[in-house]
Amino acid sequence: MGKATGFLEYTHCQNADVPALERIKNYDELHTPLTESDRRKQAARCMDCGVPFCQSNYGCPLRNVIPEWNDLLYRGEFDTAARRLLMTNNFPEFTSRVCPALCEAACVCNLHDKPVTTRDNENFIIEQAYASGLMTAKPPAVRSGKKVAVIGSGPAGLAAADQLNQRGHLVTVFERSDRIGGLLMYGIPNMKLDKSVIDRRVKLMEQEGIIFQTGVNIGKEQNAEEILKAFDAVILACGASQPRDLPAEGREAEGIYFAVDYLTSATKTLLDGGDPADAPVSAKNKRVIIIGGGDTGNDCAATAIRQGAVSVTQLEMMPKPPESRTETNPWPEWPRVLKTDYGQEEAIAVWGEDPRIYETTVKRFIMNENHRLTGAELVKVWFETNPETSKRELHEGKTWTIETDLILIAAGFIGAEQYITDAFGIALNARHVTDTLPESHMTAVPGVFTAGDMHKGQSLVVRAIADGRAAAKETDLYLMGYTNLP
């Protein structure tokens, strides 16, 4: 805990956001940190709650011992706080930027006030660790001689690689893209996670002995059999990157893209030194419709605004969430309430209204004689339970048409891309993720493991890191006959 009476003495205060109309002028990170003194006061609000739900099943998937490092932060013992944080979380610099903070939703302070600013506290601790020189390369003193290939460099793959390298195994990470990071690099905009943060960590991991190979697409450009022969174990951490499509009439129109392809185009252009407004897929001077109301759809809205979109409309099939918890959604569950994220805030600042339209989707894409997208027929939808079958059924209502030049499909993902599993002779289960042995990360192919979204399905970065750590532990046990990995 922090100060015994801190939660009574200090007011909840998060890192400040750069004003919306100011931040849309660039692709810099959105938040400005508090002073050291104010941050320590926020850590002091961590109360002696008896049962820390922040690290329970409702809170942190990594089981971060949050009260301990909040207390250390409050006391000014920054290096010790960082060491305690790094015992359970390989990459606090990632999670403290992109995690939705399940820990804060489960914080006991929510019962009477606002939660402890755990995510911001975490960010202060890890950034202070880098600034103080604590974050230096620590290669293992002894090598096992065992070689492990990690396919995919997203959060799960990086976590597994980091754990296994610390154990002394020789780890090579293969990434099909031109940069390391997977979802972190190209699936999340620079405004939420500056890519220098990823590069900084990757450099450290290289200094510790991990080999990174980019532009290697296992299963296409390189044979999976060669990998199986060259390595003692393989971890597949390729994500659940098969996007969910919307096969409506007119889908073949030019001007319809998947959200991740759009975000990748913008970020790659930025990192290559160009203006994202001039990216191969750009919203510049276009009327944009985003299909999907989740985090990815919000990221698309924010990117489109920065590129110079004429308008942004975001469609959500589900009803508008309530503004406060309902009786069926009590604390410490994740609050299923209305959230206006940074992209929507920016749209409101620019155009004066929320870009979201609820219970609505696209019924038909409209194109001209050149097959260029010109509009979309929208339809009102809702779900009702059929009393005879007890199944929820989709119903349609009124339709109307709006003009558009660019449609981005941000409707989630349906699972892993099959070519990689086919290459290793691994089946996909009914959820279209890798089929594994019961309660295990190992597939039916001995020595081939899976982790992250490819194993569990699309989820959060923090859960991917946790699953990567679990896969590493199981891989280590397979290689050595015992494991001392946490």
Q: Give the chain's end-to-end CA distance (angstroms, integer).
A: 24
Single-letter code of the amino acid located at 38: D
The pLDDT value given to residue 402: 97
List helix spans (H) across 107-154. Answer: 118-132
pLDDT at 286 over 90: yes
pLDDT at 120 over 80: yes
Query: How many Å apart are CA 449 and CA 482, to the nearest integer?
Result: 17
Query: How many Å apart are CA 257 and CA 135, to the nearest integer?
Result: 40
pLDDT at 265 over 90: yes
Summarised one tens digit per residue, pLDDT across range 14-27 is 999 999 999 999 99
The pLDDT value given to residue 58: 92
Query: How many Å apart are CA 197 and CA 226, to the nearest integer?
Result: 33
Cβ atoms < 10 Å from Cβ of 377:
16
CA–CA distances in Å: residue 366 to residues 103, 283, 402, 454: 44, 18, 10, 35
The pLDDT value given to residue 50: 87
Q: What is the pTM of this model?
A: 0.96
The pLDDT value given to residue 314: 98
Query: How many Å apart are CA 122 and CA 2, to the nearest integer?
Result: 14
Which domains does the chain carry? 6-132 (1.10.1060.10), 147-241+414-480 (3.50.50.60), 245-411 (3.50.50.60)
Summarised one tens digit per residue, pLDDT across range 153-173 is 999 999 999 999 999 999 999
The pLDDT value given to residue 154: 97
Spatial CA neighbour of 13 closest among 371, 4, 28, 33? 33
Cβ atoms < 10 Å from Cβ of 361:
20
The pLDDT value given to residue 3: 85
What's the alpha-carbon Rg for the chain, to the nearest Å?
A: 23
Spatial CA neighbour of 418 closest among 430, 427, 409? 427
User: In this predicted structure, which of 55-59, 184-188, 349-353, 451-455 has the lowest mean pLDDT?
Assistant: 55-59
The pLDDT value given to residue 205: 98
Peptide bond into 446 cis (omega under 30): no
The pLDDT value given to residue 174: 98
Under 8 Å between Cβ of 381 and 394: yes
Query: How many Å apart are CA 341 and CA 26, to the nearest integer?
Result: 18
Q: Determine the average pLDDT of the residues in 207-233.
A: 96
The pLDDT value given to residue 338: 96
Summarised one tens digit per residue, pLDDT across range 315-367 is 999 999 999 999 999 999 999 999 999 999 999 999 999 999 999 999 999 99
Query: How many Å apart are CA 2 and CA 70, to the nearest integer?
Result: 6
Query: How many Å apart are CA 177 and CA 145, to the nearest integer?
Result: 28
CA–CA distances in Å: residue 258 to residues 224, 264, 410: 28, 10, 6
List helix spans (H) across 169-220. Answer: 195-207
Under 8 Å between Cβ of 314 and 356: yes
Q: Determine the average pLDDT of the residues in 390-412.
A: 96
Summarised one tens digit per residue, pLDDT across range 84-95 is 999 999 999 999
pLDDT at 1 over 80: no
Spatial CA neighbour of 170 closest among 394, 481, 475? 475
The pLDDT value given to residue 416: 94
pLDDT at 2 over 80: no
Single-letter code of the amino acid located at 486: P
Q: Determine the average pLDDT of the residues in 426-436.
A: 94
Q: Determine the average pLDDT of the residues in 387-416.
A: 95
pLDDT at 407 over 90: yes
Spatial CA neighbour of 70 closest among 103, 93, 29? 103
Q: Determine the average pLDDT of the residues in 139-146.
A: 97
